[in-house]
Amino acid sequence: MLIQPFSPAHAGLVRDESRTVGYADSVSFPRSHEQVTQIVRSLYQDGIPFTVQGARTGLTAAAVPFGGHILNVTRMNRILGLNRLGENGFSVSVQPGVPLCELRKALSARRFDHASWSKASLGALSAFMHSREQFFPPDPTETTATLGGMVSCNASGARSYRYGATRPYVLAVRAVLPDGRSLSLRRGECFADGYTLTLPLENGSRLTVQIPQYIMPKTKNTAGYFAAPDMDAVDLLVGSDGTLCVFTELELQLLPLPACIQGVTCLFETEIQAAAFVQAVREQVEGVVSLEYFDEGALAVLRDQRADHPAFASLPPLDEWIGAALYVELHGDDEAFVTDRLNEIGDLLSACGGDPAHTWVARTQTDLDRLMFFRHAVPESVNLLIDRRKQAEPGITKLGSDMAVPDEHLDHILTYYRQTTQALGLHTATWGHIGNNHLHVNVLPRNLEEYTKGKALFNEWAHKVTALNGAVSAEHGVGKLKAGFLTAMYSPESLAQMRAVKAAFDPKLLLGRGNLFAEKEESR
């Protein structure tokens, strides 16, 4: 039986990293496109709503069900093959449940379970073995995320500063629509005619969709469906937040790994020094692929966890004077180039009130892993802190923002975040992609009152960020938790156009209920 009743052993499946807890009636773990089709058809027939989920590492509760069926794709975790793109390029075909870390491991060790691969794939593998090392650029902090999840929310990460989000790397998809029909799309083969998109389905039928006519912000953005005249059909499905289809196969573009990768974490006394340094690096240093920020609050939480928790004991010591830290990653095709850039960074540090002696440079994979661990330890240790507070006050949870603004507003928005949270006396920890003016301000409520205040404040921010031509959700997707923000960013007409897209794909509105479009009242 593909569809099983929900049992206590499945308790973990109704929560995600946002700490939202839902409920469900049944669950399935399909392994193939055919099994997904069978499950979806049965659900469609019975009118049962369902939620697709991968590793549940998301931060917006998009994978958390509130009733109905859980379609869990983590067992669709095979790498299906490699493909050659032109002379030197490669792409990889995967099932949606492959975790990013597993794909990375396979690419870097060049080791695949290729027993069932096609002849063409094996040929590509042979070429791949002798080519330069390849990588998949999108790099969300949580590398246990599944690729299906990453495509669904158009994930990005630190390196998006240079390489962009997941969307452009999706070359082809195969999916099951909410009514059980199959769809295969390849980038460059199916475009909208103005705002009308006609999708050819595998059974020969067609699906026609009207593309929304809003203008998307120029910043990083995952708020709402991607929409542009004459757009590629693939782009609509990427970032659709589990509301349009169930991905069953993905073909992802790979890039040759740069020969030299180095990272440096720069330590500052104040946020002002760090912000000045960001501006200087953006303007003057080539080869920068990420610019990541950690504020005083984030460093303080990390400092405490390092003392208390054995898992974080291997972090470098954080002296008390450090009030801000910035991670800069450099990619280049030779070491001399990167070393020169590192030197420039040293000079800029001296100019901005930093000190080349107060830096941690990583020039080997081991050291890069240590700085990555540091980056990853920030949200992890904040979660641990919240879990502790939650024990005393079960009603609270972490509030994490995911908003981006255009370059010219960086200083302004930093000051604004700082002033508005301080005015309410909220405990915050802030980190994230400062290179894209995209910071995760996390409010860490100590009680229900602060939780409510923080929630209201985020709504205020949504309006502010929209006014600055920014995005209310830049990389986490919208899911259920940020659905409310869309009303700040989009007009009622735009939202209605989005709902029309949803209805074209899913007339019974069964898939991913509560994602993007807020349900009237959710009983939590």
Interface contacts to another protein, rule CB under 8 A: 8-12, 15, 29, 55, 74-75, 99, 101-102, 109-112, 114, 122, 125-126, 129-130, 132-133, 144, 264-265, 309-311, 314, 316, 339, 342-343, 345-346, 349, 355-367, 370-371, 380, 384, 387, 391
Please say which residue, 112 or 458, places its beta carbon nearer to another protein.
Answer: 112
Work out how close the CB of 517 gets to another protein at its nearest, in angstroms, rounded to a whole number. Answer: 29
Task: Kindly state the smallest distance separating residue 19's Cβ from another protein, in Å.
Answer: 9
Q: Please identify, using beta-carbon distances, which residue of 29 and 417 lies nearer to another protein.
A: 29
- The residue assigned the tokens 């920068």 is 288
Distance CA 381, CA 245 (A): 34
At 455, list the tokens: 């929630």
Q: 110 or 508: whose CB is closer to another protein?
A: 110
b/e map of 457-469 (b: 16 or more CB within 10 Å)?
Answer: bbeebbebbbebe
Least gap, CB of 223 to another protein (angstroms): 28
Q: Which of 233-261 are b and which e, b meaning 16 or more Cβ less than 10 Å from the residue's Cβ?
A: bbbbbbbbbbbbbbbbbbbbbbeeebebb
Instruction: Give the count of beta carbons closer than 10 Å to the beta carbon of residue 456.
Output: 11
Question: With contact defined as beta carbons under 8 Å apart, do 150 and 468 qualify?
Answer: no
Q: Please say whether the beta carbons of 49 and 22 come within 8 A.
A: no
Indicate the residue among 126 and 198 with the shorter CB distance to another protein: 126
In this complex, which beta carbon is closest to another protein, that of residue 342 or of residue 426?
Answer: 342
Instruction: Give min distance, CB of 117 to another protein, in A.
Output: 9
CB of 359 to another protein, least distance (A): 5
Supply angle C-alpha 156, 216, 501, rounded to 5.
95
CB of 72 to another protein, least distance (A): 11
In the complex with another protein, the residue whose CB is nearer, 114 or 427, is: 114
Residues 6 or more apart whose CB falls under 8 angstroms from that of 8 comprise none
Q: How many CA atoms lie within 13 A of 251 on its CB side?
A: 17
Compare residues 119 and 206 and give the one whose CB is closer to another protein: 119
Identify which of residues 65 and 346 has a Cβ nearer to another protein in the complex: 346
The DSSP string of 398-429 is: -EE--EE--GGGHHHHHHHHHHHHHHTT--EE
The strand pair at 428-433 and 438-443 is best described as antiparallel
Dist CA 426 CA 297 (whole Å): 11
In sign, the C-alpha dihedral spanning 481, 484, 490, 495 is positive
Question: How far lies 450's CA from each of 19, 350, 396, in Å?
Answer: 17, 39, 9
Between 171 and 345, whose beta carbon lies closer to another protein? 345
Q: How far is the CB of 83 from another protein (least distance, A)?
A: 16
- Given the complex with another protein, which of 85 and 129 has the nearer CB atom? 129
Q: Which is nearer to another protein, 391 or 419 (CB)?
A: 391
Phi/psi at 139 (5° precision): -140, 70
Q: How far is the CB of 508 from another protein (least distance, A)?
A: 29
* CB closer to another protein, 127 vs 456: 127
Between helix 448-467 and helix 410-423 the angle, nearest 10°, is 150
String of DSSP letters for 241-257? TTSS-EEEEEEEE-EEP
Collapsing DSSP to helix, strand or coil, 498 comes out as helix
Find the shortest distance in angstroms from Cβ 16 to another protein: 12
Which CB, 3 or 362, lies closer to another protein?
Answer: 362
DSSP assigned state of 240: -
| Shortest Cβ 498–another protein spacing (Å) | 33
Whole-angstrom Cα distance, residue 123 to residue 41?
36
Q: Minimum CB separation from another protein for residue 362, in Å? A: 6
Question: How far, in Å, CA of 109 to CA of 93, rounded?
Answer: 17
Name the token pair of 34: 């055919």
Give least dist CB 358 to another protein, A: 7
Distance of closest approach, residue 364 Cβ to another protein, in angstroms? 5
Dump the DSSP string for 108-171: HHT----TT--HHHHHHHHHHHHS--EE-----S-TTSBHHHHHHTT---TTHHHH--SGGGEE
